[in-house]
Amino acid sequence: MLFTGTVLALSTPIANAQTGGWKPSEQIKTYAISGNTGFGLYQSVGERGPQAGVQAVAHTTFKLTWRRDYRPQPDGACVLATARPNLTIIYTWPKAPAKLPPDVAASWQRFISGVEKHERVHGEHILDMVKKIEAYSIGLRAENDPKCQKVRVVLQQRLGELSNEQRQRGRDFDRDELSNGGAVHQLILALVNGP
């Protein structure tokens, strides 16, 4: 997530990640901004950007559902036989006016390319989390669980841990990228101080 004077969120591409016969999908949303200078464009981002806890330049979210097959065993245990994710990674970033002065357009293109690269790293973090969930889930077994309730509790606990890990990873990444001298900080400075 990239933060502006308020907040900006960013990430890297999904790059045909495939696991266990499934493939994530991607959705890109944009919001219109105005301006004809780098400073003006960035100011418009601050006014129109998405809320991600704070005002953001861009952000990455996801929608995740699962098809799970819990199987009671003859010995009274329960095994999670399959867990197939349906993952959509959703990127949101600004879209500048089509007709910008050439030098501003070039500056904007460098900025938005960097923002997209940053956001796609967040997408990779999400994908990594889903792969970890899948690896943990398949074959998960709980003894004395004929109604498959215990195995669900164990799974939910681990899902919470993996989700918290992914969120912290994203916060750490943003902190590094947005700190003085960080990649996103440099992108912002180049845009607002450029043409």
- Are 48 and 4 a contacting pair, CB within 8 Å? no
Lowest mean pLDDT among 14-18, 31-35, 148-152: 14-18
**pLDDT for 3 beyond 80:** no
pLDDT in tens, 83-96: 999 999 999 999 99
Express each pLDDT in 97-120 by its tens digit: 999 999 999 999 999 999 999 999
Average pLDDT score over residue span 27-54 = 89
State how far the Cα of 82 lies from the Cα of 104, in Å rounded to an integer. Answer: 51
Q: 4 pLDDT exceeds 70?
A: no
pLDDT, residue 5, reads 32
Question: Under a CB-based contact definition with an 8 Å cutoff, are residues 68 and 80 in contact?
Answer: yes
How many Cα atoms are found within 13 Å in the side-chain-facing hemisphere of 65?
2
pLDDT of residue 153: 96
What is the model's pLDDT at position 17? 42
Give the start-to-end residue ranges of the domains of the chain: 2-193
Distance of CA 17 to the CA centre of its chain: 14
| Across 4-9, average pLDDT | 32
Mean pLDDT of the chain: 89
Residues 55/191/28/49 CA torsion (nearest 10 deg): 20
